[in-house]
């Protein structure tokens, strides 16, 4: 006997129990009866669906990456777009099409940003704000002694400010 006859045959599907040849798996190959499997009808899947199922994870990952990049660009480009759209130039545009146009860097250097003027707050309004801050500090529930000591110091300072005849100006 040759070596190929001694080795067991590899089957594509495991046969059912009732279809095993007598003598078990290790029986002589001459006693084996070939078992024919019934033909199973495989449903036809269109090529479009097959490619979708094959690349489903890649398509999902691609969509997530595109969404992330789009969100990043949208979020980080917004201040730049706002500066561009709200920029006002005082210089008229030249009528000659070949003439160079002044750069926006020169415009920004000519008109530096200045903060809005501060509105003076009256002393009565300052006292009302300090009273409100003191009331809010009294409502705070502390978790430990260090926090309670810090809040007590702040309340003490607020009370001193409220007792004074003239309040210091707020910046």
Compare 88 and 148 and report the one with higher pLDDT: 148
Residue 26 pLDDT > 60: no
Contact 102, 91 (CB under 8 A): yes
Q: Dihedrals φ, ψ of 11, to 5°?
A: -100, 150
Compare 140 and 107 and report the one with higher pLDDT: 140
Q: Dihedrals φ, ψ of 140, to 5°?
A: -70, 130
pLDDT band at 138 (very low <50, low <70, confident <90, very high): very high
Contact 18, 33 (CB under 8 A): no
79-134 tens-digit pLDDT: 554 555 555 555 555 555 555 555 555 555 677 888 888 888 888 999 999 999 99
30-66 tens-digit pLDDT: 555 566 666 666 566 677 777 778 888 898 899 999 9
- Average pLDDT of the chain is 74
Q: What is the dihedral of CA 46, 47, 50, 54, to 10 degrees?
A: -170
* Rounded mean pLDDT, 11-35: 60
Domain boundaries in the chain? Answer: 47-85, 123-163
What pLDDT does residue 141 have? 92
Contact 164, 126 (CB under 8 A): no
């Amino acid at each position: 006997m040759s070596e190929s006859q001694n080795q067991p045959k590899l089957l594509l599907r495991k046969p059912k129990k009732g279809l095993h040849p007598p003598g078990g798996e290790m029986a002589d190959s001459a006693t084996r009866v070939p078992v024919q499997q019934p033909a199973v009808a495989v449903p036809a899947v269109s090529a479009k669906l097959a490619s979708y199922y094959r690349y489903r994870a890649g398509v999902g990952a691609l969509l997530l990456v595109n969404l992330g990049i789009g969100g990043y660009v949208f979020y980080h480009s917004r201040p730049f777009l706002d500066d561009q759209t709200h920029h006002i130039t005082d210089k008229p545009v030249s009528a000659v099409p070949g003439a160079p146009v002044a750069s926006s860097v020169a415009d920004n250097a000519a008109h530096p940003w200045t903060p809005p003027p501060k509105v003076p707050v009256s002393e009565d309004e300052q006292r009302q704000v300090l009273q409100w801050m003191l009331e809010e500090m009294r409502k705070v529930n502390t978790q430990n002694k260090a926090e309670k000591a810090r809040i007590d110091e702040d309340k003490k300072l607020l009370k001193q400010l409220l007792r004074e005849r003239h309040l210091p100006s707020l910046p």
